[in-house]
Amino acid sequence: AVLFVLYLTVIGGMWSVTITDTAQAFILLGTLAVLAFTFFTQLGNGSLVDGVTTTWQQTPADHRTLLPESFTLAWLAWSSTFLTGTFGNIPGQDLMQRIFSARSPRVATQACVLAGGVYILFGLIPVMMGLASHQVLPGDASGDVISAMAAQFFSPTMHIVFVISLMAIIVSTATSAMLAPSALLARNVFEHSPLFKKRPLVTDRLCVVGSAVVSLAIAFSGDKALEFLELALEISLVALLIPFLGGFYGRPRGEAPGLLAVVCGSGAWIVYNLAGWWWLPSDLDPAVATATQAWLLLPPAAVGLVASGVGYGLGQWLSKSPPAGALLD
């Protein structure tokens, strides 16, 4: 599978992502909608509305809570998670690929708005099915709930279509994820060398292979893909969001604001993560934490985002300050 993904990315480029992603997304969303309709209709004895209502009423109250507990640390953690999931992907290179691949700014704008609405709409389907899994799946329902429900409620043919479309989406996501760092390496790093500048296509393909090798090594170093996704979004949030927004909506005065925002944001995030891992017990209850422990329990993403903003502001102030020699003159 890794070699197949690598081949698609090296040979196909953006066409291996854009066109195939569109077709596979339609197939996956269609099968997911059919699965949700079949499941909730059976749960409601023939009525879709009754099935959704029954699921909501029989779900425990603590599973239906959107907002966190009342103490401050829980609210900060919730806010950090919300910011990471909402804004962490904005400066991502994969999003920029799709924007710049559009034929006009209007198409790019409308596509992003439409995709956001579809993302929220179809994202609610797995959430509702996850809440209902405790009612229909025996035993522990913490595993792959959607696949288990597809095997239980789909016909063999529809189950095959669902699994194939799901695997296709994963493969396409992997190709776009490899294109992002390889494009940055080829255009921002190796292009400064005359050896690689004369061979742009070969450089692009070599960077794709190198990104695949590094990504595979990182993947084998962890246990859950979700942890890597959270880390990637947090890095984008603390290092790239502030200079990204400053470049679009502010008046940057050179490279210093952006560089300081990246260094301060990522540095604070790394230090805070290491400090929490080193000094905090793994079974610490935030509700009974001491004052020192409470400071270390602050979400590293929130701390890094604030530090990035401070670094950007400091860079703006330094850039507009006159040189020391000018004051003597």
Residue 194 is predicted with a pLDDT of: 85
DSSP secondary structure letters along 183-232: HHHHHHTGGGSHHHHT-HHHHHHHHHHHHHHHHHHHHHT-S-HHHHHHHH
Residue 326 is predicted with a pLDDT of: 44
3-state secondary structure at position 299:
coil
Residue 325 is predicted with a pLDDT of: 47
Q: Which two tokens stand for residue 276?
A: 């929490």
Residue 15 is predicted with a pLDDT of: 63
Residue 18 is predicted with a pLDDT of: 67
Residue 327 is predicted with a pLDDT of: 40
pTM of the model: 0.70
Residue 270 is predicted with a pLDDT of: 92
pLDDT in tens, the chain (329 residues): 556 655 665 666 566 666 667 777 787 788 888 888 888 888 788 888 888 888 888 877 777 777 766 667 677 778 878 888 788 877 766 666 666 677 888 888 888 888 888 888 888 888 888 777 777 776 655 557 777 778 877 888 888 877 877 777 777 667 666 777 787 788 878 888 888 888 888 888 888 888 888 888 877 876 776 777 778 788 888 988 898 888 888 777 778 888 999 999 999 999 988 888 887 777 776 666 677 777 777 888 889 999 999 999 999 888 875 554 444 44
DSSP secondary structure letters along 256-294: HHHHHHHHHHHHHHHHHHHHHHHHS-TT--GGG--HHHH
3-state secondary structure at position 148:
helix
Residue 307 is predicted with a pLDDT of: 94
